[in-house]
A = this chain, B = another copy of it.
Amino acid sequence: MQGVRLVIARCSVDYIGRLRAHLPLATRLLMVKADGSVLIHSDGGSYKPLNWMSPPATLRVTAPDQADALLGVAETWNVQHTKSDDRLVISIYEHLHESSHDLGVDPGLVKDGVEADLQRLLAEQITLLGEGFSLIRREYMTAIGPVDILARDSRGATVAIELKRRGDIDGVEQLTRYLELLNRDPLMSPVRGVFAAQQIKPQARVLAQDRGIDCLTLDYDAMRGVDDVDSRLF
């Protein structure tokens, strides 16, 4: 099968899998995609459906059992995830609308301004950290994960930089773990830390200060302005 199928129906829904969830009888939009995934939307909420089944899955439509038939169920949709025990059971009481549409393959979303872009720009403009700074490398791998940026300051000391769009307490914990590890290496030690983000929350700033970590607030628009115009995505 190909394309997306749209159904408006009065239905109730039960999900059994990582947890259990139930939707009482109401009119909803059911979206069935080609990969067997199903989304159940109401009029409202955000982009997250009320309930759903992730792909890959298979939809099997059956007649309701006698008990359900007596309650007014017209047909039962069994949506079974292909790789797990996750299951969605949709009881259709009334079919109000139905249509199918072939959309074709989507070229996909192009993003600009995510953490990776910020990292690229800061690596290019490493002297934002201070005069005489030089880049050692981005995504410096360690046993417990990658350090966003490793640099050298004007006196030759190593600096580990943790980069966030929004600087939260978790980011400080993350950088702390990296610093602990890096400072165990006598060839690397002493390594100091810089917590750089577009916005740093007060509590994160306090925790960073408490641990001797410097904070740096970044202006993405200004950094992008410095960047070569040709390298922009659009």
Contact = CB atoms under 8 A, between A and B. Distances in A.
Given A112-B20, A233-B22, A54 B46 contact: yes
Given A29-B103, A42-B103, A106-B28, A19 B97 contact: no
Copies in the complex: 2
A6 interface: yes
Contact of A44 (B18, B22, B34, B52): B34
A101 interface: yes
A21 B112 CA distance: 6
Interface residues of A, number: 56
Interface of A: 2-4, 6, 8, 18-24, 26-29, 31, 33-35, 37, 39, 41-44, 46-52, 54-55, 96-97, 99, 101-114, 170, 173, 233-234
19 contacts: A4-B29, A4-B43, A8-B103, A19-B113, A20-B233, A20-B234, A27-B102, A31-B41, A33-B44, A39-B47, A42-B103, A43-B104, A44-B105, A46-B55, A47-B47, A47-B52, A48-B48, A170-B170, A173-B173
